[in-house]
Amino acid sequence: MPVFESDTAAEQRFNVNLSILFTELPLLERPAAAAAAGFTAVELWWPWVDSPTPEQSELDALKKAIEDAGVQLTGLNFYAGQLPGPDRGALSVPGEESEKFRANIDVVADFAASLGCKALNALYGNRVEGVDPAEQDALALENLVLAARAADRIGAILLIETLNKPESPLYPLVSAPAGVGVVDKVNEATGLGNAKFLMDLYHLSMNGEDLPAVIEQYAAKTGHVQIADNPGRGAPGTGALPLEELLGRLQKAGYEGWVGLEYKPGDRPSAEAFGWLPVEHRAGR
C-alpha cells in the first residue's frame, strides 16, 4: 500500500539520488533505471570520489547516459572526498583537500551547465585535529564564495547542507541555524544571493530538531529538500517520520523546489524501494 497517496504527493517534484539508490548498478546504468521506475529527474553526489578532475571521456559518458535515459539532472555535489561514509567534505580542510575542491569547481559547473542542472551542493568539511576552527571557517567561506560565483556563472544556486552529529561527529554544521548562518555569510560576501539551505529532513531529525519549526523559519531560504525516514534512513514508511505531513508544511510555506529521495533501499533492489509512492506521482511536474 503506498504511503504517499494524497494531493501532497501529487504536487511534489521528486528526484532520485543515484549515489545512494540504484548503486547495485554501474553508474552509467543508473539514469535509465530511474527512468524505468517512473522518475524524470535525478541528482548525484560527485561520482568520482578519488578524482576532482576526471577525464573528459568519463564526464562525456555520464552526460550521454543521463541524456539517453531522458532524465533531468537537477542537483550535483562538488567534490567532497570519500562518500559514502562519515561525510567529511573538502572545502574547509586545509591543504590537499581544499585544493582538490578548488580544482573541481569549474569542472562541476561546466558539467552541470551542459545538462541544465541548476543546483550545486557543497559539503562544508569535517573539523581537523590541530587546526583552529576559525581558520577552517575562513577557508570555507573563501571557497564557498568561489563556488557561489561559479554557480552564478551558469545560473545555478549553491546549496549548503546540514548533516547530523551521530553519523558525522566532526562535521560542524549539525543544526539548521548553523547551515543557514553559513548561507547568510556567503550571500553577504558575494552579494549574489544565490546561496540556499539544503533542508535534509533525515539529518535534521537525527539532530533532534523541531522539524515543523525549522520549516516555518527557513523554508524561504531553502533551495532543495532531501528525505529519508528515521530511524534507519530507509524509504518513507519504514520509520516514524511524518514525511508526507512535513512536505505538506513545506508546500504551504511556499517551497516549490525538488524533493530528493536520498534513502537506502534496504535488502532489495532499488527498483523495489518506491512502493510508498504511486507511479503516477513520480514524474516531476
What is the set of active-site residues? 161, 262
| Count of positions (residues) in the chain | 285
Taking the mean position of all CA atoms in its chain, how far away is CA 175? 16
The secondary element (H helix, E strand) that includes residue 197 is: strand 195-200
Q: Which three cell numbers stand for residue 114?
A: 551542459
Read off the amino acid at residue 230. Answer: N
Q: Mark 224-261 as b/e (b = at least 16 C-beta within 10 Å).
A: bbbbbbbeebbbbbbbebebbebbbbbbeeebebbbbb
**Burial class, 84, CB count within 10 angstroms (exposed 0-12 / middle 13-18 / buried 19+):** exposed
Cα-Cα end-to-end distance for the chain: 23
DSSP-derived 3-state class of residue 198: strand
Which residues, in sequence order, are CB contacts of 179 under 8 Å at separation 6+? 160, 161, 162, 173, 197, 198
